Amino acid sequence: MDPVRVLAGIAALIAVTLLAGCGSGVKLTPADRGEFRSPAPTASQRADAAARAAALAAGLSDSDLVGQVLMPFAYGEDATKVSSAAATANREYAGVDTAAEMVEKYRLGGLILMNRSAGDPTASTNKTSNLTSPAQVRTFTDGLQAAAAKLPASVPMLIGTDQEYGVVNRLRDGIVQLPSALAFGAAGDPALTRGAWAAAGADLHAVGINVDFAPVADVVGPDGGFMGSRSYGSDPKAVSEQVSAAVQGLRDAGIAATLKHFPGHGHTSGDSHTELPALSQSADALAAGDLPPFTAGINAGADLVMSGHLDVRAIDPGVPASFSSHVLIDLLRGRLGFKGVVVSDAMNMAPAQKYPPGEAAVRALVAGNDLLLMPPDLAAAQRGLLDGLRTGQLPKARLVEAATRVLAVKLARAEYQQPELAGVNGAEGRAAAAKVSAAAVTILRGGCQGALVKGPVTVTASAGRDQQRAWLVDALRRRQVAVSSSGGAEVRLVGYGDDISDLRAGAAVTVSMDVPSLLGQARSPVLLATYSSTEASMSALADVLTGAAPAAGRSPLDVSGLPRSACAR
């Protein structure tokens, strides 16, 4: 039998499956499309994308197929012009000088953009910084797409980033800044969530990013665990509603959303960047407490699910979920019915580096991943996959299946019109983020009517919070509050990574800008949580402190000795 015809048949079957999954997205009419919603592809456009993906995959060479399933990083802030230091780093990583050359040499289907910032819990695997401003990112992504257009597949690249907002936030300047996921959980309004993520997604789309490795679908324990404010909370039902709304918002803007970290990183204390955390709960507990947000996100139309480097003891003990067919094929595809792209968590994280890069790439693909994120050695990963094809360790049909799924997502994204860069960080987008920030503010101790502080106010903050302090001071002064450098009623700001030593016993008000558990140890008569440290969150805080607005939020996590809210139901 002709192997080309066999592969074409396989690809066509995959395309039918992919098309069946495309219908789970949100269908919008002209009447309900908001400011940030792009017209969704029609059924015929989705059918065309799936058919073209199947035809493309069936006709690609082995090298081009392998390229479609790789999503590395690159050094430098431009596709074709980089510093000598960036060129040296790219040569060490991939044997080329620039990102554009990397696309050409490896026939890449995607690239991830990143940055490193203080306090980022994911910083250990982020080897470079590519993102500085909207204009710079748009120039960079345009250059990448120009390089991709010259490849045999001639389809747009997937260009992704981890724009979760909160503590994991790659592009912090010049675009709409949302509060943390935990703030959305405190606001508890899926309609606001969808609108805010649509606004943020429109900005990402405008700068040329078409995949967001968000939202986090992990349900956390009462104290927030390792994921902390990256999660929407501890209640599976409430988290499911938020995840579904975030996916819909990103899809409204033409962005491929990614659910992570499957099957759930929330009930672990370990950091999968440096170790293999164990999920010790039973299969029933996993199904009830961790999987619902992933199911909700899949039903909302998420294009990708990220496999976690997690030891799921109830399913495949000792094997990272990212390398387990029992987790990725039997559970995710079989039980949950996911038909999109499974993307590995970063392959340069410690659990994935148990194997040499080439072997890890083969194992991950065979286990059910379709896209391999951030291989630690790009050349070795490519060689491993090509060698796996030759030896039979990587079945050709598995590679065609993975590449077809990736191509289908890329072609579907191409049906959305890219917004103009001039509209980035517009007034309506900022207003959408401000609405959520205001709805999130929570009083855990103190009065519920009128101003919470009287007379002169002194704002203090723990180390590294100078910007937040300045924002709050400015916001209070705009509301005619006298702010002094000392001697006034102290408003104390604490945030991510702070502990009891950062509290001030004499503070009249203590405000948590991250997971609110620290408030359980604070002595202040007034305790508030914003869960986030954006300028919009500080402005909303000023409104509550001055009595100009109520604190309508409710903590998505338990705080020892305190109610979820002293005021809201």
**Residues that are catalytic:** 273, 345
User: Cα separation of 492 and 523, whole Å?
Assistant: 11
User: Cα separation of 457 and 33, whole Å?
Assistant: 44
Residues 265 and 273 sit within 8 Å (Cβ to Cβ): no
156: which DSSP letter? P
**Distance from the Cα of residue 114 to its chain's centroid:** 12
Q: Which residue has the tokens 């980035």?
A: 424
User: Cα separation of 41 and 408, whole Å?
Assistant: 13
CA-nearest of 191, 276, 243, 210 to 38 is: 210
**CB atoms near residue 427 (< 10 Å):** 7
21 residue type, one letter: G
User: Cα separation of 484 and 504, whole Å?
Assistant: 17
Strands (E), 217-322: 256-262, 278-279, 304-307, 311-312
Q: What angle do CA 532, 537, 538 make, to 5 degrees?
A: 115
154 residue type, one letter: S
User: Cα separation of 162 and 264, whole Å?
Assistant: 17
3-state DSSP assignment of residue 49: helix
Phi, psi of 334 (to 5 degrees): -70, -55
Strands (E), 166-247: 168-169, 211-212
Lay out the sheet containing 256-262: strands in order across: 110-112, 158-161, 211-212, 256-262, 304-307, 341-344
- Give Cβ neighbours of residue 368 (< 8 Å, ≥ 6 apart): 307, 325, 327, 328, 329, 332, 333, 342
CA-nearest of 281, 360, 337, 258 to 329 is: 337
User: Cα separation of 207 and 134, whole Å?
Assistant: 6
Strands (E), 197-262: 211-212, 256-262
- Give Cβ neighbours of residue 382 (< 8 Å, ≥ 6 apart): 63, 66, 67, 70, 106, 361
